Amino acid sequence: MSILVNKDTKVVCQGITGSQATFHIKRSLDYGTHVVSGVTPEKGGEMHLGLPVFNTVKEAKAETGANASVMFVPAPAVKAAMKEAVEAELDLVVCIAAGVPLKDMLEVKAMLKGSKTKLIGPNTPGIITPGEARLGIFPENIHHKGKIGIVSRSSTLTYEAVIETNRANNLGQSTVLGLGDDMMIGIDFIDSLKAFHGDEETKAIVMLGHLGGTFEEDAAKYYKSLKKKKPVIGLVVGDAVPFGHKMGYAGDVITKGRISAQDKKDAMQDAGIIVVNSIKEIHEELLKLFPKA
């Protein structure tokens, strides 16, 4: 089991002929991800990395049965690429680009409302179900099949959390998901917690947050409302930043620096989340939850 992607996910890459897409799609193919096609306007009919290239997502889906997309397009092109994916009724889109214009993201959110398409990102390392599917830029070699779900707003911390789950009796990961670090994103912590709670293979969840926005507080409120809960270990970075200091995270615009890392931790702790103060404490808490391998 897993959430959102698995060995049966049929992936199309939007922007496949670009250099970054070429590099990462080759790695995903080598990993065993079921990438079935690519999309680059005006290059339909060509082959790239042994895959057919189409002019539109709709054509790619019709010919290959693709149901998910990993999008390697520049930020100004994301809105148009998302429109194609939504109109083709893909189940999932992973958007790697950082800095998508806020106006465009407002339109993207409107497109997604009422559609069957879910968005991961933008500004995300993507999603990986170890041994099954890699959509994005995750360093696949550090991931191992297991029972800990990881969801994070920070790319680098995500990789460190993966290593911590491996250190803890090699518990490994069910699925690892990077939400994205832009002000407006698709799937959030609440969506992720819901999905992990519905996955039998996931036995505990690691949730990594940071300053900016109210994502962590909203998730804490949702978690507190649950009657049946899986253990969640939470970390929020930013303690060293003086209160009121302007963080670089775009999400901090929303709260204007009024919410500190400690405020987020307090909300999570009140909800019953196991709050840790450093990344290295994650494996220590996991060992308490799962003392035997």
User: What pLDDT does 227 receive?
Assistant: 95
| CATH architecture of the domain with range 11-120 | 3-Layer(aba) Sandwich (3.40)
- Residues of the chain with pLDDT > 70, as a percent, come to 92
- Residues of the chain with pLDDT > 90, as a percent, come to 85
Same fold? 11-120, 144-289 = yes
User: What pLDDT does 126 receive?
Assistant: 98
Q: Whole-angstrom Cα distance, residue 276 to residue 204?
A: 15
Is pLDDT above 70 for 112?
yes
Confidence of residue 246 (pLDDT cuts 50, 70, 90): very low
Tokens of 60: 């790619």
In degrees to the nearest 10, what's the CA dihedral of 209, 210, 214, 217?
Answer: 50
Judged by average pLDDT, the poorest of 96-100, 181-185, 188-192 is: 181-185
Q: Whole-angstrom Cα distance, residue 55 to residue 263?
A: 48
Ordered by start, the domain boundaries in the chain are 11-120, 144-289
Q: By 3-state DSSP, what share of the chain in percent is helix, strand and coil, each rounded to 5?
A: 35, 20, 45
CATH topology of domain 144-289: Rossmann fold (3.40.50)
Q: Which one-letter DSSP state was computed for residue 257?
A: T
